[in-house]
Amino acid sequence: MNPTKFPFSALCAPMASMMVAAALSSAAFVSTTLVSAPALADDEEDEGKSDEEIEAEERARKRKKAEAAEAAAAATAAESVKSSGSDGTKDHDRWVGHMGVGWFGVSSVPIAAGSPTGTDENPGIAPGGTASLSVPTIGVRYWLSERAGIDAGVGFSLATGSISATTQAADKQTAWGVAAHLGLPLSLASGKHISIQLTPEVNFGYASSTVDPAVQKDPPPAAELGGTRLDVGARFGGEVHFGFMDIPELALEGSVGAYLTHQRTTITVKDVEYADSSVLFTTASFKNPWEIFTSTIAARYYF
């Protein structure tokens, strides 16, 4: 005789439905309680108060919200005024403790011209005067205070190429140069958008090149060409900030200067050396009118 099977599946389905319904009811009760709790609290607080008192408290709450909104708007407006400079702050003063990236002009670094002569055992030099290599310099300015700052810049230049014809080709002489700039800008006076400055500074440049000998029997070694330049002097001028165009970060500096300059060029072929040194004291001068934009006018952007 086979035992009778109990219908578990028929019992489980109704039980599951009852559990789901109970869970939904509990969730609805909890959400209703949470939503209605603040309202009940307000009702309890308002209980026993007159309509005039309730209205007065509501007006007070609205007034506090309006005052908070006005204070936030005023703070935003004040920050906007400060950033634009319309609060009376000088453009120069706002960049104390900040760094500006800019252009320090082009340095003309001298380099010797010439070629090797003679033989490997008895080399000589055929000097050809002095040439120059233009080295643009860029760098940074950092204001330590409203009165004093630091300038530092570096530059590099490389000149090379080739010449070709139908039957032959040749490489051009390769020359390279580096330059360094160090200055101490001093703000003597400042206005809303301008700072009058005196800047003692030092510039140093070095250039180098190599010239191979002509094709011949027992040729001499290649000639090593070099040149250095050292400037010690000062510039006087003004730095104009574009705060009047709502761009106080951008500045344009114009200046003139006077320098004591030492230049030296050398040609070396093995143990033979030819050197040419000179000392100059000059003020800013230009061969062409547009050279003012490469020597005495500098653009700078502050961060």
For 267-292, what is the mean pLDDT? 80
Distance CA 301, CA 154 (A): 17
The model's pLDDT over 130-154, given as tens digits with 9 standing for 90+, comes to: 999 999 999 999 999 999 999 999 9
What average pLDDT score do residues 190-194 get?
Answer: 94
**Which contacts of 171-175 are long-range, i.e. CB under 8 A and separated by 24 or more positions?**
173/209, 173/210, 173/211, 174/209, 174/210, 175/111, 175/133, 175/207, 175/208, 175/209, 175/225
CA distance 112 to 115: 10
Give 209-262 pLDDT, tens digit per residue.
999 998 888 999 999 999 999 999 999 999 999 999 999 999 999 888 899 999
Tell me the pLDDT band of 22, cut-offs 50, 70 and 90: low
C-alpha span between 127 and 225 (Å, rounded): 10
Condensed to tens digits (0 to 9), the pLDDT of residues 154-191 reads: 999 999 998 888 888 888 899 999 999 999 999 999 99
Do 142 and 183 contact (CB within 8 A), yes or no?
no
Summarize the confidence of residues 95-117 as an average pLDDT.
94
Domain boundary assignment for the chain = 17-84, 93-161+170-302
pTM of the predicted model, to two decimals? 0.69
Residue 39 has pLDDT above 70, yes or no: no
Enclosing H/E stretch for 8: helix 8-46
pLDDT tens digit string along 56-75? 888 888 888 888 888 887 77
Is residue 3 pLDDT above 50, yes or no? no
CATH class of 93-161+170-302: mainly beta
- Name the DSSP letter for residue 96: B
pLDDT at 83 over 90: no
Reduce the secondary structure of 175-221 to three states and give it as a string. EEEEEEEEECCEEEEECCCEEEEEEEEEEEEEEEEEECCCCCCCCCC
Q: Which of 200, 220, 224 is nearest to 210 (CA)?
A: 224
For the ranges 41-45, 199-203, 275-279, the lowest mean pLDDT is seen at 41-45
Question: DSSP 3-state assignment of 37?
Answer: helix
| Cβ burial, residue 278 (10 Å; 0-12/13-18/19+) | exposed
What is the reported pLDDT for 105?
84
Residue 8 in this model has a pLDDT that exceeds 50: no
189 φ, ψ to 5°?
A: -160, 155
Q: Check residue 168 and give its pLDDT.
A: 82
**Average pLDDT score, the chain:** 82
